[in-house]
Chains A and B, each alone.
Chain A
């Protein structure tokens, strides 16, 4: 039965209204907005879902790994309540301030410690920094093939059949395992946890590993291991000069809009 690993990230809810979003330009950090909840990054939930569909079909074990800090247990345990088997949290001040490279390194070291695996799943990109390279990075460090981004994966006889998204369609790919895939929203909605799953997850204690536990060289972790440097972070200014076209009724407003578009030669 397949051993599967899913990497997930806890982030501030990306669906929060843009108005609540603020940055501190001096420290180049996002200011946590009050009332915005933490969630599992949406593409990562889809990565969990992709693994669960394989588990539904043929069984197997799903280990979820997350690197971060200030974990909210109800949030980060969601993959367990959806049906994953084990949760490993990577927490160490040495991991702070890392870029994609430092993060992929730490995750790869943790995966090495987990040991055997057939497929690693990541989200196509985290919905906070949108970098979209940790998955490929892990694969490169581990020296295994990667397929990104995908909308479907099935396993049979030690081989994977994968649908990789390309412009205006998809490719059907045959790959040997072990391999890494990054999952996109085209996979479909992830399942909601069932009450039974939530109760089971509540009883499970996550495993916590620090840099030393996974044998990571702290010079390659966090800020020390980062290769790209953030020089500036700001919220772009929107002009907001919309002219609202009005009318006695919606139909009249529509006619006025058509006339306006003609007047400015847009139609």
Chain B
């Protein structure tokens, strides 16, 4: 194999468009490539990819490898691992980045094992060590109680998956030049060991958590499915999305699809109103990007007050209606 050189990111496509994580990876990957004085390339796998390769260039890639094949229409472990193995061996990058997404979480470990290298999952920061030129991979461990920095010394590529919203995308520059290279998938359909027979999407009413500027989030302290509805009037006047920590989801009070945390959604609103939640590290891992956290909790010792900018100690059942009413007045 040739000497490993350059930074490669594996992009993602959602409904015919580049997923936000793709731009974030390109932004983060560009910074690393600049520090190394090497190229940044992107890989796009899918079916009917069209001009998305060019878009990757506008967002920072020097070169884009496009693998367009009907068998890659939807993410499937065997197909994607096989094709990524082929592309990585062909290009020999020094660093390979993916998103910590449904795809990256599944693809990265298997690909790393197949390539005989290691991967750090869910990194929140990446840097280049000035002496060794190795990739410094920073990630939360112990549910966010500690931060760990890893390197991979002997194996290439150095791999990491990156938490959504951890890296900043670059401004789109349509004048930037680059090269789009088509790669044949060359997949043997028999290599694909499972197939999707149905996809069930939960209906999300109102604003998506990932896009919301304001979020009202409830925790174990809310107490029941009925009590959870008491968050809605406040969410409505603030034009906010409603989220939850893990216990309300596990208890069936709300849909698991609104879980915010290490194993749920990662959000970064301007205003995050945390109601009846203790602020476990597990949960904070999902909302550490929130710019202003407001805590409403009965327990003045709750960890959430260490994370919040403003807090009110007391019963949310009394506080929320009054807060909702006052916000409504101020906004009218």
Of A21, A125, A175, A227, which is within 8 A of B145 by CB?
A: A21
Contacting residues, chain A, for B151 (C-beta < 8 A)? 228-229, 231
Let me know if A244 is at the binding interface, CB within 8 A.
yes
Q: Are B292 and A266 in contact (CB under 8 A)?
A: yes
Contacting residues, chain A, for B330 (C-beta < 8 A)? 258-259, 262, 267
Q: Nearest chain-B residue to A160 (Cβ)?
A: B194
* A17 CA to B6 CA, complexed, in Å: 43
* A185 CA to B263 CA, complexed, in Å: 9
Q: Are B109 and A132 in contact (CB under 8 A)?
A: yes
Q: Are A100 and B118 in contact (CB under 8 A)?
A: yes
Contacting residues, chain A, for B136 (C-beta < 8 A)? 231
Let me know if A232 is at the binding interface, CB within 8 A.
yes
When each residue 270-301 of chain B gets 1 if its CB lies under 8 Å from chain A and 0 otherwise, what string results?
11000000001110000000001011000010
Contacting residues, chain A, for B201 (C-beta < 8 A)? 168-169
Q: Are A147 and B194 in contact (CB under 8 A)?
A: yes
* A254 CA to B77 CA, complexed, in Å: 50
Q: Are B326 and A259 in contact (CB under 8 A)?
A: yes
Using known A-B contacts A30-B142, A136-B106, A137-B109, determine if residue A176 contacts B194 with beta carbons closer than 8 Å: yes
Of A129, A146, A165, which is within 8 A of B110 by CB?
A: A146
Q: 8 Å CB contacts to B: which residues of A23-51?
A: 23, 30
Using known A-B contacts A189-B250, A258-B323, determine if residue A131 contacts B121 with beta carbons closer than 8 Å: yes
Number of interface residues of B (CB under 8 A): 86
* A72 CA to B219 CA, complexed, in Å: 32
Let me know if A219 is at the binding interface, CB within 8 A.
no
Q: Nearest chain-B residue to A189 (Cβ)?
A: B250
Q: 8 Å CB contacts to A: which residues of B282-332?
A: 282, 292, 294-295, 300, 303, 305-315, 318-323, 326-327, 330-331
Name which of A147, A176, A233 has the most chain B CB atoms within 10 A of its CB: A233
Using known A-B contacts A175-B194, A176-B193, A185-B250, determine if residue A254 contacts B326 with beta carbons closer than 8 Å: yes
Q: 8 Å CB contacts to B: which residues of A210-259?
A: 227-236, 238, 240-245, 249-255, 257-259
Let me know if B66 is at the binding interface, CB within 8 A.
no
Q: Are B121 and A132 in contact (CB under 8 A)?
A: yes
Name which of B194, B305, B311 has the most chain A CB atoms within 10 A of its CB: B194
Whole-angstrom distance between the Cβ of A161 and the nearest chain B Cβ: 8
Can you give 10 contacting A-B residue pairs, CB < 8 Å?
A14-B282, A30-B142, A125-B263, A129-B142, A130-B142, A133-B112, A170-B199, A228-B118, A233-B149, A266-B271
Q: Which residues of B contact A (CB under 8 A)?
A: 77-78, 101-102, 105-106, 108-110, 112-114, 117-122, 136-137, 139-143, 145-155, 193-202, 204, 238, 246, 249-250, 256-257, 262-263, 270-271, 280-282, 292, 294-295, 300, 303, 305-315, 318-323, 326-327, 330-331
